[in-house]
Chains A and B, each alone.
Chain A
Amino acid sequence: MFQTLQDTLSRIAALDPEVIAIAGLSLRVSLSAVGLATLVGVPLGGLVAVASFRGRRAVVGLLNAAMGLPPVVIGLVLYLLLSRSGPFGGLGLLFTPSAMIAAQTILVVPLIAALTRQIVADAEDHLGEQLRSLGLGRVRRAAILIFDTRFSLVTAILAAFGRAISEIGAVLVVGGNIDGYTRTMTTAISLETQKGDLPLALALGIVLIAIVVAVSAVASLLRSYAMRAYG
């Protein structure tokens, strides 16, 4: 164990350009996915929170359940869709970073939408009547409540980023773990574990954790700065 730890530390010290490229790909894929999912999920969650329509409870239940979608199942379904023999095979997206972005986007949209819905619904409890009495329509109300809860939403988006960058099932299946092209931190860690190179796997794991911590630290710094300005 001690030996492994020592090896790990020396591996981290000697991190080569290849590891940096892998980390870069992981970041790019997961940030893209979370960015796209935010665009879809936040307005979706906000609208579900303020709108009243038939089947709303079912939609909320569906969103909450979809938060737990198993990545590997999303990967598998997307694989069948994107495969050359599947309906979207013509796009030639299988085994590309774009396919991985698509998979992670699908993975985290329900998470962002469900958390946004909850956060906006809580804000609606104390602001909703006020906004409705001003004669604001549901789109405007959703937008204002989303703006009002922006600091809490950062936390939801960070949770989505954490889920995206740490998942392996979806990116492995649709990305194919191709060396230098679709190999991410998680698939690399898995590969090195399989090869029995535990110190390298652990070193990569520590780098991955460092990335997640760094991203959330930057986000909470920005958040506290913005909160000081706009309480």
Chain B
Amino acid sequence: MSPSVPIAIERLRYRVGDLPILNGVDITVTSPGITAIIGANGAGKSVLLRLIDGLLVPTSGTIRIGASAGSRPGTAFVFQRPGMVRASVAANVSLALAPLGLDAGERRERVRAALDHVGLGDRAGAPATRLSGGEQQRLALARAWARKPDLLLLDEPTANLDPASAQAIEELVASMARAGTKVVLVSHNLGQVMRLAEDVVVLADGLAVEHGPARSLLSSPRSPQARAYLAGELPWTSFAAHS
């Protein structure tokens, strides 16, 4: 597989009208595997992910992925809510391959392999919009995987799923990372971040306030914003037990 992609983000600003969302984000990622972005609602995590994908255009600053700034390697984006076209499961994967200019045989083969990989091989002909939420998110991963991306962006991919479905997604993401795809994950689920991520970026007030290895950052955050965010994590025990 392709080598992991270094990501270099410098002085990245993004504004919607007069409203600043990102105020000069600097992040350099050199490690392979999974990088998690955490932070409170409104910190700009999803916007950052969309800027990396090219869905949004920065107000100023640069994002470099791979060796050169010019040619962007294949990225794939998996959203919190998978968007499926009213067509078969296979067609939904196939349409993701349209811009790649593959011949029909190669395309069919990739669709089949991707569906087998996520365990939907026997549902290829079913209407995609009739799948359960977990199955749809697996299909979204298959759609991303079929493109053989160098960089996979995940925006809270398990936020709407039950624990079993979430676990299936986590296993798939981990396997893709092991296979050499660089993964950037936005998540509120700190358990998930702990299980999956090599390194963690904390976003607060439109800035990257802290960046470090997952284990050390989550257990002993240095910045006050990261401490506040992590302290706000709901306790595992119920409120009632404290009273």
In this complex, how many residues of chain A approach chain B with their Cβ under 8 Å: the count is 21
A-facing mask of B127-145, CB < 8 A → 1, else 0?
Answer: 1011000000000000100
* A58 CB within 8 Å of chain B: no
Beta-carbon contacts under 8 Å, A119-136 to B: 126-127, 129-136
Which residues of chain B have C-beta atoms less than 8 A from A135's C-beta?
A: 99
B55 A148 Cβ-Cβ under 8 A: no
Alpha-carbon gap, A176 to B60, bound state (A) = 64
B75 and chain A: residue at smallest CB distance:
A133
CB distance from A149 to the nearest CB of B (A): 8
Report 8 cross-chain contacts, Cβ distance below 8 Å, ordered by A residue: A126-B81, A129-B50, A130-B82, A133-B55, A134-B96, A134-B99, A140-B99, A231-B127
Given contacts A230-B87, A230-B88, A231-B86, contact A140 B98 (CB under 8 A): yes
Query: Which A residues contact B (CB, under 8 angstroms)?
Result: 126-127, 129-137, 140, 144, 147-151, 229-231
Residue of B whose beta carbon sits closest to that of A149: B86
A135–B82 Cα gap in the complex (Å)?
A: 16
Give, as a whole number of angstroms, the nearest-CB distance from B74 to chain A.
9
Residues of B in contact (CB 8 Å), total 23
Are B85 and A133 touching (Cβ within 8 A)?
no
Q: Is the CB of B85 within 8 A of A144?
A: yes
Secondary structure type dominating chain B contacts: mixed
The 5 closest A-B pairs by CB, nearest first: A130-B83, A133-B77, A231-B127, A127-B83, A135-B99
Does B99 lie within 8 Å of A137, measured CB to CB?
A: yes
CA distance A132 to B79 in the complex (A): 12
The winner among B50, B85, B99, B130 for most chain A CB atoms within 10 A is B85
The answer to whether B85 and A136 have CB atoms under 8 Å apart is no
Is B53 in the interface zone, CB < 8 Å from A?
Answer: yes
- Other A-B contacts than A130-B79, A230-B127, 17 sampled, CB-CB below 8 A, are A126-B81, A126-B83, A127-B83, A127-B85, A129-B50, A129-B79, A130-B82, A133-B53, A133-B76, A134-B95, A134-B98, A136-B99, A137-B99, A140-B98, A140-B99, A148-B85, A230-B88
Per the bound structure, the CA–CA distance linking A181 and B147 in Å amounts to: 58
**Which residues of B have CB within 8 Å of A136?**
95, 98-99
Given A134-B99, A231-B127, are A147 and B87 also a contact pair (CB < 8 Å)? yes
Chain B contacts to A: CB under 8 angstroms: 50, 53, 55, 75-77, 79, 81-83, 85-88, 95-96, 98-99, 127, 129-130, 143, 147
Complex Cα distance A144/B96, Å?
Answer: 11
Chain B residues in 8 Å Cβ range of A149? 86
How far is B129's CA from A231's CA once the two chains are assembled, in angstroms?
6
CB pair B86–A148 under 8 Å, yes or no, is yes
- Please, which residue of chain A has its CB at the minimum distance from the CB of B86? A148
Cα of A130 to Cα of B147 in the assembled complex, Å: 14
Chain A min CB distance to B154 (Å): 12
- Distance in Å from the Cβ of A6 to the closest Cβ of chain B? 49
Tell me, in angstroms, the Cα distance from A150 to B86 when the chains sit together. 9
Q: In the complex, how many angstroms separate the beta carbon of A158 from the nearest chain B beta carbon?
A: 19
B85 and A147 form a contact (CB under 8 A):
yes
Cβ–Cβ < 8 Å partners of A231 in chain B: 86, 127, 129-130
- The residues of A that contact B77 with a CB separation of less than 8 Å are 130, 133
Q: Which residues of B contact A148 (CB under 8 A)?
A: 85-87
CA distance A135 to B98 in the complex (A): 9
**Complex Cα spacing A136 to B129, Å:** 20
**Cβ–Cβ < 8 Å partners of B85 in chain A:** 127, 144, 147-148
CA of A154 to CA of B223, assembled, Å: 57
CB B156 to nearest CB in A, in angstroms, measures 14
Which residues of B sit under 8 angstroms from A134, Cβ to Cβ? Answer: 95-96, 98-99, 143, 147
Please state if A229 and B99 are interface contacts (CB–CB under 8 Å).
no
Max chain A Cβ within 10 angstroms of own Cβ: one of B83, B87, B127: B83
When distances are taken between beta carbons in the complex, the residues of chain A under 8 Å from B79 are 129-130
In the assembled complex, how far is the CB of residue A119 from the closest CB belonging to chain B, in whole angstroms?
13
Residue of B nearest to A150 (CB): B86
